[in-house]
Amino acid sequence: MNYKQVILLFTILSLSACKKQDVYLNKIEGKQINISDSLEINQNIEDIIKPYREHVNANLDSVLAYAVDTYSKSDGDYNTAIGNMMADAVYEQSNPIFNSRTGENIDFVLLNHGGIRSIISKGNITTRTAYEVMPFDNSAVVVKLKGAQVKELLEYLSKAKRAHPISKLHIVLDVDGNFKSATLGDQPLDFSKTYNVATNDYLYNGGDRMDFFKTNDSLYVLDYKVRNVLIDYFTKIDTLKPVIDNRFIQLK
């Protein structure tokens, strides 16, 4: 019997043995490969990737507007310039879409403080800025909230002690930090009514323990990512100069 015949016979016997026995996976082994600058570049792969990288970077670094100052979510106790800008942008960009589909308007906006992931530095604002501020794929939605849920929302914000961004809503706490009043424009909230509240899908699904969104009459998905809201808003305004105002304050 020659060498090839021996190999063939061994293979047949091995396959036969496998058919008669159950085979179970009982162990998986692996090792970590650290990725660093010390790894050699595969030039063939680099040549393929390079034009795509340059195209993406050119888009991300395209200038959309100019910021007159540096803005951070830690700049205020109850409202911040960057948070006010984001909430106002969601209202301004989303309300026309919501109105065209329903014939109604958004009453107010609520976003989350933790959703602001970066400062906006003084100087040019680019598409990359929008990705840094909002790296997540959260989308704008509008929820119909009854008065009872709006009360829960106000109670939540009063106790949160964080500058969750709001727009079109004016909240006042007393000197002890307890809820005092809330108005839309010059009118107090009517808790017998239902309000159209714009937010993001993360909060709608209970993010940051905002459970009051779970009980609602209707949900309108706008198919509009908050990041794209910012990009469209920056493109439109030319110069960014938001301020801390009196939309959410505590009396002293």
The pLDDT assigned to 152 comes to 95
Domains of the chain by start residue, with CATH: 60-250 (3.90.780.10)
The pLDDT assigned to 1 comes to 52
Helix (H), strand (E) at residue 44:
helix 43-60
CA atoms within 13 A on the CB side of 65: 20
CA 5 – CA 139 distance, rounded (Å): 66
Give the predicted TM-score (pTM) of the model.
0.81
CA atoms within 13 A on the CB side of 203: 25
Both structure tokens of 185:
């424009």
Helix (H), strand (E) at residue 110:
strand 108-110
The pLDDT assigned to 74 comes to 95
SS3 call for 1: coil
The pLDDT assigned to 75 comes to 95
Report which of 143, 168, 167, 138 is spatially closest to residue 229, judged by C-alpha positions: 138
Q: How far apart are the first and last CA of the chain?
A: 100
SS3 call for 219: strand
The pLDDT assigned to 16 comes to 58
CA 119 – CA 74 distance, rounded (Å): 9
Q: What is the DSSP letter of 178?
A: -
- The sheet with strand 169-173 has its strands ordered as 187-188, 179-184, 169-173, 248-250
- State how far the alpha carbon of 176 is from the alpha carbons of 130, 159, 180, in Å: 37, 11, 10
Q: What is the DSSP letter of 39?
A: S
Rounded to the nearest angstrom, the gap between the alpha carbon of residue 107 and the centroid of all alpha carbons in its chain is 21
Tell me the average confidence (pLDDT) per consecutive run of 10 residues in the chain, 252 residues long. Answer: 52 56 74 77 82 77 96 96 98 98 98 97 97 96 95 95 96 94 94 96 94 85 97 97 96 92
The bridge status of strand 169-173 relative to strand 248-250 is: parallel
Report which of 76, 69, 70, 106 is spatially closest to residue 89, judged by C-alpha positions: 106
The pLDDT assigned to 42 comes to 80
